[in-house]
Structure 1
Amino acid sequence: MSITIWGRPNSLNVHKVLWLAAELGLQFEHIPAGQQYGVVDTAEFLALNPNGLIPVIQDGDTVLWESNTILRYLTEVYGKESLWIEDPKLRFSAEKWIDWYTTTVLPVFGIVFFNLVRQAADKRDLAAVKVAAEKLEKILDVANSELAKQPYLSGSNFGVADIPLALALNHWFNLDVQRHHDHTHLKAWIERIRAREHFLKVASIL
């Protein structure tokens, strides 16, 4: 097994892959790439991902990009004894949360995260943050209701479906925003996630 992961260490999408690789106990080489690290505009990298985006993994002869696809690949190939859910009905019931995060949560959370974490203080659009935060709370009601019925989005046990949302909400609950919804079950869930051995080692890198 020879796995290489490309991506800057403060990218949420790269965090997904690095955290999962650690959860699976994989040995891998991590090559910082993107933004200040460069690399992504080189001919060698573009041969791996013609989009010039991160993350990218190379596992032997297999090269993959798109973070959610990488999550599914690593789980199926290396997680059969741990995070892989064999029953397809249960697996897809769990994995819908990966796509829900990408299509529904991320576009709204991204406005909050960009302005309060990535953007310089004098350039922040706080009006946009307020609108997005209010919308995000309503969206998160859906996950909070699910977690009232089971401890993880993946089901009874932690799984790959928990990874994308956990990385975002770890920041969400630390940000200085006004909240109106009491997401009791989400808060309990994120604390269970934060207690995992590898989580904060990856998620705290900004």
Structure 2
Amino acid sequence: MLQILGKTSSINVRKVLWTCAELGLPFEQEDWGSGFRATHVPEFLALNPNGMVPVIKDGEFVLWESNSIIRYLAGRYHGEALYPADPCERAKCDQWIDWQASELNRSWSYAFLAMVRRSPAHQDSREIDVSWANWTRHMAIVERQLEFTGAFIAGPSFSLADIPIALSVNRWLETPLRHDDFRAVAAYMERLATREGFREYCRNGTP
């Protein structure tokens, strides 16, 4: 059975858990990371030299990096409805998956660590304001894309790209700062509420 190593409070672990829910894929999950089993012990570093979660073990196959994992699972376990075989449609998914990791993730770091994690090292009010403004600017990109598609982030149908994007939207909504009135984003989250994986691993009160 597929093994998932990583604590369920991690946004990147929840990408993998939600993907498994969409695929109807059974798994065993072990809590690793801050507050649980340490990831900088030799046992874990042998699996991921970065000492970060998630890691999966699928039989003898080991993989880390959350976006690589969800792509692998969709490809390995007949997830064509999530991750299309057509190169153009797949590329649309990939651009949003990669954008979430390379751009959107970076925008929230300071504000999230300050307001949610309460990190003592991230309490400069000016830096919080700058980070929040940058995060909101990136959320405006999501808003415009959802206005364009009228449905989901990569087009009219739910896709693998919606998993990291929706988790990021949830994090934005759960951070206690003033939020712009992004109506397409609000409608998007309501649209996703019919999905069991969304309810269990995204809109569950965990940022």
TM-score by length of 1: 0.90
Q: Per-residue deviation at 1:123?
A: 6.6
- CA distance in 1 between counterparts of 2:84 and 2:103 reads 24
State yes or no: 1:176 paired with 2:176: yes
- CA distance in 2 between counterparts of 1:170 and 1:79 reads 27
Secondary structure of the 2:101 match is helix
Percent of matched pairs sharing the same residue? 36
8 A contact 2:107–2:131 mirrored in 1: yes
Question: Where does residue 20 of structure 1 map in the other structure?
Answer: 19
Q: How many residues align?
A: 204
State yes or no: 1:161 paired with 2:140: no
8 A contact 1:95–1:154 mirrored in 2: no
Question: Where does residue 198 of structure 1 map in the other structure?
Answer: 197
1:126-141 equivalent positions in 2, closer than 5 A: 126-141=125-140
Secondary structure of the 1:198 match is helix
Secondary structure of the 1:64 match is strand
8 A contact 2:97–2:161 mirrored in 1: yes
Q: Per-residue deviation at 1:130?
A: 1.8
1:112-127 equivalent positions in 2, closer than 5 A: 112-119=111-118, 124-127=123-126
Deviations 1:12-55 (A, max 9, x none): 11111111111111110001001121242333222211222110
8 A contact 1:8–1:32 mirrored in 2: yes
| Unmatched segments (≥5 aa) in structure 2 | none
Q: Per-residue deviation at 1:149?
A: 2.1
Deviates more, 1:76-85 or 1:144-153: 76-85
What amino acid sits opposite 1:173 in the alignment?
A: L
8 A contact 2:111–2:131 mirrored in 1: yes
| Unmatched segments (≥5 aa) in structure 1 | none
Alignment root-mean-square deviation, CA: 2.0
Deviations 1:128-175 (A, max 9, x none): 222212122222222222111211113211111111121121131233
- CA distance in 2 between counterparts of 1:139 and 1:50 reads 31
Deviations 1:96-132 (A, max 9, x none): 0011111111111122221111116897343322221
8 A contact 1:154–1:160 mirrored in 2: no
8 A contact 2:113–2:119 mirrored in 1: no
Secondary structure of the 2:51 match is coil
What amino acid sits opposite 2:109 in the alignment?
A: G
TM-score by length of 2: 0.89
